[in-house]
Structure formats: C-alpha cells, structure tokens
Structure 1
C-alpha cells in the first residue's frame, strides 16, 4: 500500500522539479532542449521531440530532439502541408492527444522518427497551445517497447504548455526595441495577413486560430465590404490545406441551372450543349477549400444538394446516376440574416444549422475605428506601388478627415477612397480635398443644427445603413428595425431617402 502511494508521489516530485528547472532557465534558446529532456525523463522513453509552428502556422519545425540521453544537434522542417506525416497532422488538425500503445510501421507513417536499432513500438503525441489557445507546437515521446503512454498525457501537456509560454515570453523580453511594431504598421504575421489591431479584430484572429487546423465548415457573416473573402483566404492559406486549391464562387452571380452545373459538374448529354463531361467546382477544390460567397442567395433546390455534400462528402454531377466522394472544406459567407431567411422559408433550416457550427462575424469598420488609419496607409502604399510612384505623405488634416467618417461601405469603401486620392494627389501629400466623402458618412460638424435636425440626421443615417445592409429590400429592413413596412416608407419619404441614396 505504501509503495502504491509512494510511486505517484515520487512522480509528482519529479514533475515539480522539472517545472522549477524550466522556470529558472534564463535563455529562450535553451528551453526547447530542456523540455525534450524533461519529457524523456518523466516518461522513461528513449525519444522525445518538440515541434514548433511558425507565427503564420505554415511551417512545422523540429526544434529539439532528445535521443538515448543526449540532444540531437540538427534542425528539420516538415512539408508545409504536413501531408506526409498523418500522425502529426491528426494532432494538429484535431487539437487532441494521440496515444498508440502498439505502433505498426506498416500501418502508420513514421518517417519523422529517427532510425534506431529496434523499431519504435509506442508513441504519444501532444498538441501544445499558446496564450490564445491556438495550437503552437507538438510534444512527442516514443519507446521501442510496447507501452501505454497515455497516462503521461496530462502532465506532459501541462509541462509543454508552460515551457512554450516561457519560451515566447523570453523571446519577447529579449527582442530589440527597434523591432517592435509601430502604432500604424502592416499586419503582423500572427494576424494571418489581415490588417487591424483593434479588440474586434483580435477577437476574429482568435476564432480563426481555433478553426485553422481542422476541417470544420465556417460561416462568415457581416456587412458587405468587411473582408469576408480575405478571411476565407486566410483560413485556407494558413491551414493544412494551403497546398491545394482555393476556389471562389458567388452564389448570387449565376441563375440556378448554371450555378448547379458550375458547382457539381455534368456528364455528356445532360442538357443541350453538354458535348463532353465537365468537372464542377467541388471536384476542382477536392483536397482544398471552396468559398461560397452570398450563400443566402443560393436557391432552395441547390441547398439540398449542398447539404448532401456537407453531410456525406458526396457529389452527383448533372446527368449522372453515380455519386463520388470529395474532400472539400466549405467556407460560406453572407451579409444576410440567415435565421430570418429560415423563418421566412427561404433557407433550409437543416443547412443553416450545419453551416453555423462555427460562425465568425466580421465587425463593420465603424466598430474598429482604431484600424482606419492603419488600413488607409496600407492601401495608399499598395496604390503607390501599383502606379510606380513614391509613397504619398499623409497630412494630419487628411488623417483627421478619414478618422471622422463612418464608412457605411466598410473596408471596401475605404480602399476605393484611398486609391482615388492617390490618383488625384500630385504634390506628394494627401490632403482632405483628395477624398470624396459622402455626407451621410460624416460626423455632424455643423454646430448650427438644432436638436431636431441632429436627431433627423441620425435617423436618416440609421435607415440608410439598414437599407444598404439589406440591399434596398424594404421589407427586410423594416423587420430588422422593428417597424411596419408602411412606417418605414413614411419615414423614408419624410427624410427624403430615395433608391438612388441606397
């Protein structure tokens, strides 16, 4: 009995000693090797490896390898898509431990393990998370004998996460001050190539990190012009499917019959003009990502076929009686309220729940005002480079002019305004007169307006914003505002809002 109690106590004491040892290390460069050594000693395994993902999540590197009591001095990077390393890919994509008490080289690809005198028989692989709860690396231990290593999973994962946090903290503390980003700068690699440091965008980055390395379908929502396609591309480019195709299809741009043949393909003779077999976009995106923009505008008949793809991974081309499997990740986007469309019978309820497993709502630009100037500088640099000009200087008046604008068209409107301003700029300095800002988006700066006029201006802006969000659909706008349609029409008439304004 005493021996049974003493054994867990002895392991707990060893674990505490390893935590203390890692905490006392002063150099970030020593932590990977120390963690690998600690994992090997605690588990009693011949091998321990530490893999780290880079800040863009596109490269998995062997940072440290402890083999037979000594550190192996070499570095190795795995292919960026991790396709050849299915065991490591599983841990990354599923964000869950993998324990194999009987490792079979004929069934499992183990080229990432070093060659030794005996075959490897047991394996434990653990995902390590960073401060934002995103997978940032893998800790692996392996033994040449058949062993159940699952009992070490919790303690080694805690130790690895602690060491990873220490490693990142020491790297930040030792980074030279000159390398720190300026208040207004291009996007950081950790932001997946997107621009913005506001709290609203940080929340988006955290959600992207959660879904990056798993095959879950994603639904992007938000107003038009908020950058939904950019986020979809970031999810693809920084995920494990990055080496495969990224296909885009706008569901509102084609009539139903053409959209069906475009998505699912067709067989020769399926309809007049079908002179040969043609693959659809699901086949073109096999292994990669299919981005379905404006999913709320997809016809109901096609929604049923899309649901079949999501549930079973099967596609049946037009004119064919046979289905075939595809491995496609669906990222859908809409500016519409899909729940309201479900209630109206214009969107399938089962498809809505299937797509909304992981929704990401993109904030409008007015909700991330801190990012406006950063985005403006970025677009100005892009426009100057395209026109082969020297970068334009920004006057303080121009920056203040932009900062006070509401941007009903969001990032798309800002991009167009800045590109036009760069074209108009001839003296090398951007001025307020270079920006053609719509009065409805400007803050009220007329101190001569009385209270009634100010309130009417606020109401007019609110109605315009809602009508634009719903593409001029007055019934949907009235429902969103909680008004009868007749009341909305009356207020539009009183405030002189015409279809041209929308």
Structure 2
C-alpha cells in the first residue's frame, strides 16, 4: 500500500501527493491497491473499483477494489466483451464517455457490479481510462452512500487512472514473472481459447483478436482480406456483435451474387416508378442497416459505377435511392471483405483507387489455415462436437492417425474445407472412432516432398492453376485470360495434372 500521505493543503496538492506516491510503488498489487485507495479518498467515496480489459479486449475484470477504508481481495470473476447485464459499465466503456449519476436509483439502474451493503448506493462516477497509445484499457469507478456531485472529479481521476495503468504496463515489461508462474507455464498445457467467438490459439489468430479489439468501439470502416474460407464473415459478425452497434441490424450483401442493376437497387433502394416493375417504394440495405453494420462481401466484384456511389456514402453519409432526386443521411458502419489483392486490382483499373484507400483505413488480414497449424485440431474437435450434437449422436473419438493426417494436410480451402471434411467424416463414422479413411484428403500435403525436379514443378503448376480457378469460381475462360493462356491449353494442363471440378 501507499506510504502515509501527509495532510494536503488543498485538493490539487493531494492529487500531486498521490501521483508521487504511485510513482514510487514497485509492486503491481500495491500499485492497483494504491490507485483505488487514492480515488476513494480524493472523492470522499466509500467505494472505488478498477476494471481492466485484457490484451485482446475479450474480458473485463475487476482488478482492485477499495471499500469502507479497506482493500478487498482481488476478484477472480470477469465479464465478457459485451458486458451483458451491466448496462452502466457497458455504456461507459462502449461509448468511451464519463458517466456521472448524482441520484442512483437501484430500481432503474442495474448495479449488480456494486458490492451489497446495508446502506444503498446513492451516487456513482464511472470513467474510461486509456493507455499510452490512447486505447481504452479499463474503467475507474467511485460510488458513495450519500448524494453528491462526483462529476467535478472526472478530470483528476482520469489523470490518476491513466497514470496508474501506464505504470502497471511499464512494470509488466520490466519485472520478470515470479517463479511459481514460470513453473505453471511449463507444466500446464495450453488451454482451448477463443476470442470474440472465433476459435484459435495461434499467434496469427491472437494478432487478429488484437486488431478486432481496436475497432470494436470505433466506427471506422474495416477491410477484411484473406483467402476464401478463412472466416471473413465470422470476423465481421464478431466485430458487430461485440461492438457498440450490436443492438442494431447486421446486414449482409454478397457483391458477386447479383448483376449490377439489381445490386444497385438492393443497396440504395428505389422509389415507385423508378423502373419497370417498381410498383412500390423499396428501402435499400443502407437504410436497413442504419445505425448498424453493413457487411459487403466480395467487394472486389462490385462494378466500377457502383463503387462511385459507395464512395459517396462513405464520404458524406448520404444515400439517394433510384428514381429520387433527394438524398438522406444514414449512419452505417461498413465492413468489406474480399479474397482479391485490391491494390493489384487498382493497378489493373478494376477497382477505384479512392475507394480502396477509403475502405482500407483499418485492414485485417486473416491467415490461411496452413499458417496456423496449431489451430487445426482445435477447430476439428469443435466441428466434430457440433456435428455430433446436430446429428444427436454420441461423441466420436479421434484416432492419432486421423489427427496426424489433418495436421499434415495443407487445406487449400482453409477452415471451410476443414469443416466440410469433419462433418463428412462424422457421417461416415460407424464405430465412434474417426479414422484417416473417413477423411477425403488429397494426399498432397505440406509435408509431402517430391524427389525430382519434374514432380516438384508439376506440383507448383497444379497449385498455381487451382488457385486461379478458385479465384474465378471455376470459370475456365476467365482463368485462362488471367493466366495468359488459350483456353484449350488450360484444359490440356488441367487434364495432364489431374485437376477435376471436385478439386476446385
């Protein structure tokens, strides 16, 4: 705990003394305890609490608590990233705003996060605290049994909380972990973890969780990139469902699924009489997603003429339906996704450069499954459990041979392919044990090595052709043009390399 602080001459001097005391603490627990103690005594409150977010912003934990002049034991419970059921904390953290209630009414406000005491809580001050990168990292809260205006303490407590959290981060970087913690890290196997409903414990997925956490409560546009089947729509759902717009609509539109004129009317809406068959007004997807999120999948396939209209929505927040001369405002968060290299598409003149820069304010690239091998078994077991539950059958055991075969496979179709393979295997499994023969695996694996140059070159060429065909959804003419080959030559190479429609 902090050293005895002399009686200050005024509030400002008291704040400076507290900051000086925190600067001299060299133990994280004492630092956190001193922080809540200082907040309670500076405001004259009976309660002070400190909540901190973890590094991936998936958990909010009560880290320190000062109640009636005593530091309370550190709580082990934490709240998920949506802070469901704790509306006051949710408002303060998601909106990044100070919350001050002079007349706290327990019949109107959910206050389960406050400790139960004989006297009711009457006043509350809750404010977000930020780290050196200006990212919200937690909440500092004060509560009083009597009615008082705590709003005036918000600036000084923000300074105190930000200073304390930055000191804590500095300690974590400088202090080595205690021996007991090191021993525990060696002895305990990695646990099955997930972030925002996504499964994966690999470093590449942890990086993705970190990026998701940065945009949950910020309304910037997000561009999701990555190969087909890596889970871009799942990430879009996660950003919406765990962010501040989760109570509003999440609307999905695949830009490659509709011709240009239908896609335009679907996105922007139309007025009665705008074209033949328009017998009524139709609200577009931008209006349906107002105050929510619009997920534009396969944005790279959007026609250039529509890209210009989308750019205006992003820049001005205005939508003009077909057949209407007037525009109206919408507040929509755009999350776009594509498997294309949009920078390359811009250079080819297939995508607007200004729209590309507007969309790519915050890009998140999803790793292919072959770059996160340690997640394969986590995902496989998850899909197996879900399939067994769906089929209302008992759980299946995994043979070591089946697990080895999955880990060694390269998964060109990524997580989507793995899911399909596991579901098929569970259907084929009759003795409750999954074996390698239940999986329809192409025997070309990442660990498979060819012994001569011809075999190696054939493998490279086969993967190259398959990649082009998949990008073009099996359209051989488009793939041939992309590769600079006559279509007849492409068909000959496909036959020679054993590429069938099932491979695509």
Which TM-score band (shorter chain)?
0.7 to 0.9
Give yes or no for contact 1:54–1:60 (8 Å, CA) kept in 2.
yes
Q: CA deviation at 1:297?
A: 0.6
Give yes or no for contact 1:295–1:332 (8 Å, CA) kept in 2.
yes
1:73-88 mapped onto 2 (5 Å cutoff): none
Change beyond 3 A, Cα 1:455–1:344: closer
Number of the residue aligned with 1:457: 459
Number of the residue aligned with 2:140: 139
Spell out, residue by residue over 1:463-494, the C-alpha distance to the aligned partner (whole angstroms, 9 max, x if none).
Answer: 433543454688998999xxx83599979856
Q: CA deviation at 1:314?
A: 1.6
Q: Structure 2 residue aligned with 1:336, among 317, 337, 340? A: 340
Is 1:297 aligned to 2:297, yes or no?
no
Give yes or no for contact 2:128–2:136 (8 Å, CA) kept in 1.
no
Gaps of at least 5 residues in structure 2 are 1-10, 112-120
Number of the residue aligned with 2:418: 414
Change beyond 3 A, Cα 1:439–1:35: same
Cα distance in 1 for partners of 2:88, 2:269 equals 27
Change beyond 3 A, Cα 1:440–1:470: farther
Number of the residue aligned with 1:3: none
Spell out, residue by residue over 1:226-262, the C-alpha distance to the aligned partner (whole angstroms, 9 max, x if none).
Answer: 0000111111111111111111110100111111111
Q: Structure 1 residue aligned with 2:358, among 331, 336, 354? A: 354
CA RMSD of aligned residues (A): 4.7
Q: CA deviation at 1:430?
A: 0.6
Cα distance in 2 for partners of 1:369, 1:133 equals 34
Cα distance in 2 for partners of 1:158, 1:65 equals 17
1:104-115 mapped onto 2 (5 Å cutoff): 115=122
Spell out, residue by residue over 1:350-403, the C-alpha distance to the aligned partner (whole angstroms, 9 max, x if none).
Answer: 111000000000011111111111111111111111111111111111111111
Give yes or no for contact 2:28–2:171 (8 Å, CA) kept in 1.
no
SS class of match (1:52) = strand
Number of the residue aligned with 2:321: 317
Give yes or no for contact 1:82–1:89 (8 Å, CA) kept in 2.
no
Cα distance in 2 for partners of 1:81, 1:145 equals 20
Q: Structure 1 residue aligned with 2:224, among 220, 227, 231? A: 220
Q: Structure 2 residue aligned with 1:326, among 330, 350, 370? A: 330
SS class of match (1:427) = coil
Change beyond 3 A, Cα 1:304–1:181: farther
SS class of match (2:410) = coil
Number of the residue aligned with 2:484: 485
Number of the residue aligned with 2:292: 288
Cα distance in 2 for partners of 1:133, 1:489 equals 58
**What is the number of equivalent residue pairs in this alignment?**
462
Give yes or no for contact 1:85–1:111 (8 Å, CA) kept in 2.
no
Number of the residue aligned with 1:39: 39
Spell out, residue by residue over 1:73-117, the C-alpha distance to the aligned partner (whole angstroms, 9 max, x if none).
Answer: xx999766969986654327xxxxx799xx999xxxx9899746x
Cα distance in 1 for partners of 2:33, 2:479 equals 60
Change beyond 3 A, Cα 1:354–1:479: farther
Give yes or no for contact 1:60–1:80 (8 Å, CA) kept in 2.
no
Number of the residue aligned with 1:388: 392
Is 1:91 aligned to 2:96, yes or no?
yes
SS class of match (1:257) = helix
Spell out, residue by residue over 1:208-231, the C-alpha distance to the aligned partner (whole angstroms, 9 max, x if none).
Answer: 111111111100001100000011
Spell out, residue by residue over 1:108-128, the C-alpha distance to the aligned partner (whole angstroms, 9 max, x if none).
Answer: xx9899746xxx9xx893424
Give yes or no for contact 2:18–2:38 (8 Å, CA) kept in 1.
no
Give yes or no for contact 1:472–1:499 (8 Å, CA) kept in 2.
no
Q: CA deviation at 1:321?
A: 2.1
Number of the residue aligned with 1:156: 161
Change beyond 3 A, Cα 1:466–1:182: farther
SS class of match (1:397) = helix
SS class of match (1:139) = strand
Q: CA deviation at 1:17?
A: 2.6
Cα distance in 1 for partners of 2:204, 2:48 equals 37
Change beyond 3 A, Cα 1:50–1:260: farther
Cα distance in 1 for partners of 2:486, 2:160 equals 63
Give yes or no for contact 2:293–2:332 (8 Å, CA) kept in 1.
yes
Give yes or no for contact 1:134–1:209 (8 Å, CA) kept in 2.
no
Change beyond 3 A, Cα 1:210–1:80: farther
Spell out, residue by residue over 1:415-454, the C-alpha distance to the aligned partner (whole angstroms, 9 max, x if none).
Answer: 11111111001011111111111244564267xx434323
What is the TM-score when the length of structure 1 is the normalising length? 0.75
Q: CA deviation at 1:192?
A: 1.1
